[in-house]
Chain A
Amino acid sequence: MQVYLDNNATTMVDPLVVEVMLPFFSEIYGNPNSLHKIGTASHPAISKAIDQVYTALNAADADDIVFTSCATESNNWVLQSVFIDHVLNSDKNHIVTTEVEHPSILSTCKFLEEQGVKVTYLPVNGQGVVEAETVKAFITDKTALVSVMWASNETGMINPIAEIGEICKEKGVLFHSDAVQAVGKIPVDLQSVHVDFVSMSAHKFHGPKGVGALYIKNSQALSPLMHGGEHMGGRRSGTLNVPGIVGMGKAIELATTNIEETSAKIRVKRDRLEDAILELSDTFVVGDRDNRTPNTILISIRGVEGEGMLWDLNNGQIGASTGSACASEDLEANTVMLAIGADNELAHTGIRLSLSRFTTDSEVDYTITHFKDAVARLRAISSSFAIQKPTEGGEVQECELHHH
């Protein structure tokens, strides 16, 4: 059995989504911008996809939802264009974000810092959540934008977006949220919260890769990132990715119709898996389940290094993820893991399991067995569980190796 528990990285495209996409490769392939009917033949399908996305997010007709290539593009667009519109061409110079954002936010912020923008990276609490009061405390009259992710890719923890939205509205500051991990996992209702810009990506909710969107409240001004042929009403140029857009529409419809019911089912499996793993001694999971996306577990297993654990799970045909420093190119501990704290151990022992609506009960059972076997094997090798004490003078007094 092969088990995929890395759905926060990407998801399987739902076969129903593939089905609606197929005609738009070799049958209805015209450019939607063309005047002839071979081009315009795709218009009904694109319109439908637009409707599906607006409905799924309860966006108002006055809002724009612009298709992009991915959430990385959407995030870059907001940050770079807010810089151009409100820093270069206005009198603001400050952005507020968090330490736990996706690299497409953090790296772009670092880039903007090089251009002279001041960026405040807010910490998270022990639950991995950014507190609304913290956001409020750091907004100044120079703040151009607040950017806080809706839910965390690593922990699944959900930030108080409604509260932060109210604060931003009151202070007159633009508010952006990277909702990549929220859309399709938890209800996102854009008329019940105040958010100016929202990023999303289809491949996180069983849609295709290479298509995402940016929600822009009230169709407000935001300089384009992509200049060109005036597609998407001039907001985002580039020939429309018709199969991608059609697929994204279907995928978001499937993911959000009866979302409470679907996520409750996922949560039952998630909780069962989590409870079973927590039976192991010296383990802990980050964050309260009620304030977490229903598919995500970030667990620390004392004495078992994350990459080693991933290795054993992989040998058992289970795909998961780790924030372990050892598994990264530069051996640097994952900044998100460090931001959450937990004595740095999480940075080396954290394993992320992320389920989907396609995860089955037998896959959960299989994972429980293999997970426990892997922990048993690796703990038998681990120095953390060795019995014989070191020779006098052979102990390690403190972390001799690393600066963090």
Chain B
Amino acid sequence: MAKDDLLGASLWDAYSNKVTTLMNNPQHQGEIFEGEAEKRGNKLIVADFGAESCGDAVRLYWEIDPKTDIIIDSKFKSFGCGTAIASSDVMTELCIGKTVQEAVKITNIDVEFALRDDPETPAVPPQKMHCSVMAYDVIKKAAGLYIGVDAESFEEEIIVCECARVSLTTLQEVIKLNDLTTIEQITDYTKAGGFCKSCIRPGGHEKREYYLVDILADTRKEMDEEKMKAAADAGGSANFEDMTLVQQIKAIDAEIDESIRQFLVMDGGDMEVIDIKSSDEYIDVYIRYLGACNGCASSSTGTLYAIESTLKEKLSKKIRVLPI
């Protein structure tokens, strides 16, 4: 929130002139009929995407020359708002003259780009990117029908945010590389979740297979596990002060086992680590003497000094050993 956000933007003011022009007068609106295409020796493909009860629906018509796979003509019908109609119109225009194999490479980003008045300014407000995604989806469906394969097979990777076409692997990498912790950061870095917002969390406009909240949580968990594993692998060479509490206790135990315990046991005693408290200045290691050490005169002088200096030397200069 800031000055520019106080007065909510007008939705329609954010449409490009091209969106407005095509909504008012779509160029490729209409139908191609089976009989007509056949008469010209061509194949007609008609594909639907969406439904009126969903809020938007588009029907795409392709007349294809079966010898060359070239889309000779294309039309559309659309139940939707201005951006849906304009997106459908520009989609058909982008299809005409291309082979089916080329057309299937048209993405929603191409559709939105074709609607821009200038290359720098988005053609539609963020939440309306969804309309261009429908254009992309219906193209894949039509191509699948023509080639005889499932529309899903055209996707080479798992797309989490369809509006910005951000894949699962990209998201995982960006979160890891930049140590991202919030959804807002993910949107800033990748644009994912910045448009129709369906991919952020369940319950949005569209049901998704993957959600950013889950991807973030899973990736962060993975990162923590990796970090811990790295620390564990590094063992004694890792910086004691950066270890987790459990790692610190283990490191102290290991050190005691290695160079202290044998002397205590020889005198019929032992010790255990009770707790560790770290401050900027000190790392206080609370220990308890067991057996003969308990009450031994040296336990608060010589023995204690030996334990403390060993740990200081091997682990950290900040260590103080406090018997309780």
Residues of A within 8 A of B (CB): 302-308, 311, 314-315, 324-327, 329-333, 343-345, 347-349, 380-391, 393-396, 398-403
Contacts and interface: CB of A to CB of B under 8 A. Distances in A.
A389 B46 contact: yes
A304 B80 CA distance: 7
29 contacts: A305-B80, A325-B55, A327-B11, A327-B81, A329-B8, A330-B197, A331-B204, A332-B204, A332-B205, A344-B53, A345-B52, A347-B55, A348-B52, A348-B55, A381-B85, A382-B79, A383-B48, A383-B79, A384-B79, A390-B46, A391-B145, A394-B45, A394-B141, A395-B48, A396-B49, A399-B54, A401-B206, A402-B205, A402-B207
A315 B24 contact: yes
B33 interface: yes
Contacts of B145: 391, 393-394
B80 A387 contact: no
A343 B8 CA distance: 31
Q: Is the interface of A mostly helix, strand, loop or mixed?
A: loop
Nearest to A385: B77
B81 A381 contact: no
Given A308-B82, A324-B81, A383 B127 contact: no
Interface of B: 8, 11-12, 23-24, 26, 29, 31-34, 44-59, 61, 77-82, 84-85, 127, 130, 141-142, 145, 196-197, 203-207
Contacts of B52: 302-303, 345, 348-349, 383-384
Contact of A305 (B8, B29, B49, B81): B81
Query: Closest 3 CB pairs between A and B?
Result: A307-B81, A383-B77, A394-B47
Given A305-B80, A305-B81, A308-B85, A331 B58 contact: no
Contact of B203 (A343, A387, A403): A403
Contacts of A395: 48
Contact of A343 (B32, B53, B197): B53
A370 B61 CA distance: 30
A331 B130 contact: yes
Given A399-B54, A400-B49, 7 more contacts: A324-B55, A326-B56, A331-B205, A383-B77, A384-B79, A387-B31, A390-B46
A308 B23 CA distance: 9
Given A326-B56, A399-B53, A402-B207, A390 B47 contact: yes
Contacts of B51: 396, 398-401
A137 to B, nearest CB: 28
A291 B213 CA distance: 46
Contacts of A331: 55, 127, 130, 196-197, 204-205
B139 to A, nearest CB: 12
A350 B53 CA distance: 12
A375 to B, nearest CB: 13
A160 B197 CA distance: 39
Nearest to A392: B145
A393 B49 CA distance: 11
Contact of A326 (B45, B80, B141): B80
Nearest to B32: A388
A34 B54 CA distance: 59
Nearest to B33: A388
A368 B55 CA distance: 25
B54 A401 contact: yes
A329 B11 CA distance: 8
A401 B56 contact: yes
Contacts of A343: 53
Nearest to B207: A403
A399 B130 CA distance: 15
Contact of B55 (A382, A385, A402): A402
Contacts of A391: 44-47, 145
Contact of B81 (A308, A315, A398, A403): A308
A274 B12 CA distance: 27
A209 B305 CA distance: 80
A214 B79 CA distance: 43
Contacts of B32: 388
Given A329-B127, A381-B29, A394-B142, A305 B203 contact: no
Contacts of A384: 52, 57, 79
Contacts of A388: 31-34, 44, 46, 61
A381 B78 contact: yes
Nearest to B8: A329
A74 B52 CA distance: 39
Most buried by A among B24, B80, B141: B80
B45 A396 contact: no
A18 B12 CA distance: 31
A313 to B, nearest CB: 12
A283 to B, nearest CB: 14
A162 to B, nearest CB: 37
A341 to B, nearest CB: 12
B81 A383 contact: no
B142 A383 contact: no
A402 B206 CA distance: 4
Contacts of A402: 54-55, 205-207
Contacts of A330: 127, 197, 204-205
A305 B54 contact: no
A381 B55 contact: no
